[in-house]
Each structure stands twice: as C-alpha cells, then as structure tokens.
Amino acid sequence: MIRPLILVALFAAAAHAERPADYAFGVPLTPGGPESFQRVALPPAVYEGAVGRDLSDVRVFNADGELVPYAWVPRRPVPRERAPAIALPMFPLYVDRDKRDVSGLALTVVKNAAGTTVSVNTADSAPATGKVLGGYVLDASALEEPLVALNFALPQTTGATTMRLAIAASDDLATWRNVAGDSTLVNIEYAGQRLTRNRIEIAPIKAKYLRLSWTPDRPVIEFGAVSADFGERAVETPRQWRTAVGIPVADHEGDFEYDLGGPFPVDRIAMDLATPNSIVPTTLSARANAAQPWQLVGSTVFYRLDQPGGDVTSPPFPVAGGERRYWLVHLDPRSGIAGQAPSLRAGWQPGELVFAARGHPPFTLAYGNYAATAGALPIATLIPGYDDAKGLPANVAIALAGTPMSMGGPDQLKKPPDVKRWALWVALVLGVAMLGWMAWRLSREMATTPSERPVSSEPRDE
C-alpha cells in the first residue's frame, strides 16, 4: 500500500512542478462566463507548434501558473437534419375529353419579372383548347436538393374519396421519365372520422419539372397545393481553413507540393482555379512530415465554370481524416493548366477541449514541449455524469481564445539531453576505470620480486 501512495505522490509532485515556461507557446483564454467548465476549439497555432501529433503536450494553466484539469471532447456523429417542405408552383393542364391524355401536349415555360408562365400547345403547335383538367405541371427548378416525397393539400369537404395519378419528371418539358406510375390519394370521411393519404413517396430525384396526370374519366380529388419533401442531410459543421501556395516539383509535369505549416486533421480539400471554364482531373497525396513517403488520398475533378448567374465551382473534396502537413497534387496536363499552381485550401474540424475554471483567470492554453506526456483526464472523470449521446451539458461556457504568444521559447521543442543515460554511461566508464586501476595495482604487487620485498628485522627462532 505504501508503494502506490509514493507513486501517486511522486506523480502529483511532477505535475505540480510543471509551469507555463516549460512550454514554448501559449494562447490566452478568457472565460465565456462564470460557469465552472469552459470549452475551447483549438486554434490553428496549436497544430503548428505542438510537438506530439496526438497533442499530448497541451496543457491549461491559470493566471497563478497552476495546472488546471482538462479533457478532450469526443467527436460526435455528424448531425443530420431534414429541410422543411417547400410549396411548388402549379400549372394546370387541360385536355380534350375524347383524348384524355397529357403526353401529347407541348409545354413551354417563360420566366420573367412578372413570374412564370406555362404555354400549353398540341403536338402540331396549335394552342390546346381542352376543357377537362388532366393534370398539373409542378415547377421544381428552384430546388437545390433531391426531393423524396410530394405532399398534397386535400379538401376538408367530401367529394371523391380516392384518386390514382402518375408522376413524371423532365428537365426540358419535352422528354419525360416515369417516377411513379400508379400512386393513390385517399380522402375518406365516415362517422366523424377522416382517413387520408396525402403523401406520395418517390425515389430521390432532382428535376426541374414534375408532371402529375390522371385519366380524366376517373374521380379527381381537388387538391389545392403540392409541396416537396426532402430527405435527411448531413449538417456541415464549421471548419477552419488554411490556404497554401503550390511549388512545382522538378521533372514532374503537373505536380505541385503544398506545405500547410502544421499537421492539421484535414478532411476537406478545395482548389481555387484562377481561370474560368477550367476542368482539372486531380490526384491528391499527403504525408505528415518530410521523412514519410507520399500516401495516396484520392482522385477528383476540380472545376470552375462561367455561368450567367455567376461562377459554378466544385465543392470541397472529402478526404479521410488524418494529421497531415504536406500535400502533393498532380494536375492532369491535358487540362491545360498543369504549368500553373492553383491555390490549395485545406479544411478541418478543430479538436476541442473542456477545462475546469479553477483559480484566477485569464487561463493559458500552453503547447510545445518535447518531454511532455499526455495530461488529459477522461471526460467522464472531469465532468461527472457525462453522456456520450448527449454531449457536453448546456452549462459549459465557450472560452474566447486570444492571440498566440511565446512563453518558454523554441528550446522547449528540442529533445532534452538524456540525463539518466549519460549518468549511466559516466558511472559505467568510472566503474571500468576503477576496475582497470585495481587490476593495474594488483598486477604491480604480484610482479614485485622476493629480493625487493622488505626483510623482517626480527630474529628467527632456532
């Protein structure tokens, strides 16, 4: 029992001995409120100056230079959300009773400041004069995401109770593809109870126009509006971004090397192409330091297209997360810009830590110590009752990070001399020297001749 207590005491003494000057750099932290716990996202300077890729040389000190406990906040699954339903503009399609089909109609959409107008003609370009409602055209050109369902606003009064309709999609109002061939709407009221089916689910689709049609001689439920539903989408969390300038690689056409200045946990890569209407097939490789070999990250196509509404650029390319500093980009020479070095933008979600606001503020986020070992507590130890599913409690304030500053200086980034190892070598050399001296002394004594030995002056017994 005594030995564990001694170890704990020694560990506590070692932790207490740490001070801000033991770390090369620091970032002032101002508490975001009086709460006991404060959270902060790591500034880019921490990734640039920390020695350990696992950020083991990160500490938090209070204004008195005392260590305060902290823990890393675990990354939670990417949250997902569903966009609200959007009402779609509707344009009626009238047909002749004897034809009973909207597929023979030629449609034209005109959009101007006054709004959107749909012109309906027959196949021979004559204006359609039908009097029977045979369907609707829905304008979905403003939607930016695929829709997965249509919701119909059904009337409260009873009339037709069921209705079968077909759904088709088109981008030019000329060529239509089937989306749902036989869908049913239900609107039944009986004994004060209402049974409705006003939602039709479809496979995710992105199209400018949708056409609803039915057989004119069948019952029609007079719905007043149609809205589009969207599927769940991942919520993009805020990222930090770093822009780097490429350096051509000698004797490798189209290859450029980029230095981000630190091993950031990059998960998005974007290219800023200077020339409009550029389409560039690209291969990406990366490594954490200059001594490592390049590792293939992925291939994609970056583009910048000049459109009437403004430039259309490729979205950031997702890459597997990992702490990487150097990036090698190969631009296909056939793209025509292999001799130019476009700017590379790297994005990452910064790590986050939470600390106990013990002692006087301001606090300091210290980093940059070659000899430091991991000092974070498990988050469930720091915050009793922490739940991974719920994340940090609401009463954790957000600390404000200031401007990075120098503390212990660059010497803290160097590997310190191994005192124990040198002491062992010195002891070993001294031990060998002592043994050599003793051997030499012994050999001198053994080499002494009898005549050289001193003669005793005492008389011998006869």
Q: In 3-state terms, the chain is what percent helix, strand and coil (to 5)?
A: 15, 40, 45
**Residue 156's pLDDT is what?**
79
Residue 418 clears pLDDT 70, i.e. is over it: no
- Which pLDDT tens digit goes with each residue over 56-93? 999 999 999 999 999 999 987 776 777 889 999 988 88
Does residue 112 register a pLDDT over 70? no
Looking at every residue in the chain, the average pLDDT score rounds to 83
pLDDT in tens, 131-188: 778 888 899 988 888 999 999 998 877 667 888 899 999 988 888 899 988 888 888 8
Banded model confidence at residue 456, pLDDT cuts 50, 70, 90: low
Average of per-residue pLDDT across 439-443: 78
Closest to 99 in 3D by CA, of 69, 147, 152, 135: 135
Segment 348-360, tens digit of pLDDT: 999 999 999 999 9
Q: Residue 10's pLDDT band (boundaries 50, 70, 90)?
A: very low
Cα–Cα distance between 347 and 271 in angstroms, integer? 11
Average pLDDT over residues 247-263: 93
Mean pLDDT in residue range 194-212: 89
Is domain 86-234 annotated with CATH 1.20.120?
A: no
Task: Report the run of H or E that residue 8 belongs to, with start and end.
Answer: helix 2-17
Name the percent of the chain lying above pLDDT 90.
45
For the chain, percent of residues with pLDDT exceeding 70? 81
Average pLDDT over residues 220-226: 86
Q: Note the pLDDT of residue 361.
A: 94
Asked if pLDDT for residue 5 goes beyond 70, the answer is no
Residue 7 in this model has a pLDDT that exceeds 60? no
**In the structure, what pLDDT confidence band is assigned to residue 14 with cuts at 50, 70 and 90?**
very low
DSSP characters over 104-138: T-EEEEEEETTEEEEEEE-TTSPBP---EEEEEEE
Residue with tokens 């906040």: 73
- Taking alpha carbons only, the member of 319, 345, 325 closest to residue 240 is 345
| Helix and strand element counts for the chain (H, E) | 4, 32
Angle, alpha carbons 255-258-263 (nearest 5°): 135
Give the H/E segment covering residue 46.
Answer: helix 44-49
pTM over 0.85: no
> What's the mean pLDDT in 319-325?
87
Tokens for 186?
Answer: 């239900």
pLDDT of 375 reads 92
Cis peptide before 146 (omega within 30 of 0): no
Q: How far is 218 from 23, CA to CA, in rounded Å? A: 81
**At CA 108, angle to CA 104 and CA 114, rounded to 5?**
145
350-406 pLDDT, tens digit per residue, is 999 999 999 999 999 999 999 899 999 999 999 988 998 888 998 999 999 999 999
CATH 2.60.120.260: which residues of the chain?
240-348
- What is the domain class of 240-348 according to CATH? mainly beta
Residue 105 confidence class, pLDDT cut points 50, 70, 90: low
Map tokens 């829709």 to a residue.
147
**φ and ψ at residue 198, rounded to 5 degrees:** -115, 15
